[in-house]
Amino acid sequence: MKNLFAIVILTLTSNFILAQDDEFQEDYFREKVNLELMKNYSECQPFWTENGVSEFNGKTEIWSVCKLENGNRIIRIESYENEVFYQEVYFELNGKLRYAKETENYNPKNGFAEMKWNCEFFFENGQLMTYISLGHGKTEDENWNPDSIIGMYKKRISEMNKMKK
């Protein structure tokens, strides 16, 4: 009986420690990706070489693309429709999606943002590893699928390739 009790305590303790370790790893991973993004973003100032406007989705969208000398790329797409400001940011590291952020802010004309929502997505080798959401928006819908950002990214790359150079 003492052995069984010891096994149960040991199992519960190790599961608790591993759970904390997984959470720490997730935070560490997010921080690592954010640092990579910030390092690359800070180098973008002279490299926002492509700026464009599209109407692929029934609204005017402003595109900014930063192609760095190291081969990494940041794509930013912004629009404003029906008093909502939309922004998508995609960061590619070594040709693979590393980070994405989707933002929707209710922003009435002649006013400041009143309701904000964003979701950050973190990738490893093109696979979604984790995400974090702030505010009220899509992520509160039980039918929302976080992997949908991958489809959005692929669609945006296709649209960008259709834009005239």
CA 67 – CA 49 distance, rounded (Å)? 7
> How distant, in Å, are the alpha carbons of 10, 31, 71, 102, 156 from that of 152?
45, 24, 22, 10, 6
Copy the structure tokens of residue 84. 């909502």
Q: What is the pLDDT of residue 148?
A: 92
* Contacts of 84-87 spanning 24+ positions with Cβ under 8 A: 85/113
Q: What is the pLDDT of residue 69?
A: 85
Predicted model pTM:
0.81
pLDDT tens per residue, the chain (165 residues)? 455 444 444 444 444 444 445 555 888 999 999 999 999 988 887 667 778 899 988 899 999 999 988 889 999 999 999 999 999 999 999 999 999 999 999 988 898 888 889 999 999 988 999 999 987 778 888 888 999 999 999 999 999 999 876
Q: What is the pLDDT of residue 6?
A: 47
Q: What is the pLDDT of residue 138?
A: 83
Copy the structure tokens of residue 62. 């402003």
Q: What is the pLDDT of residue 165?
A: 66
CA 37 – CA 40 distance, rounded (Å)? 5
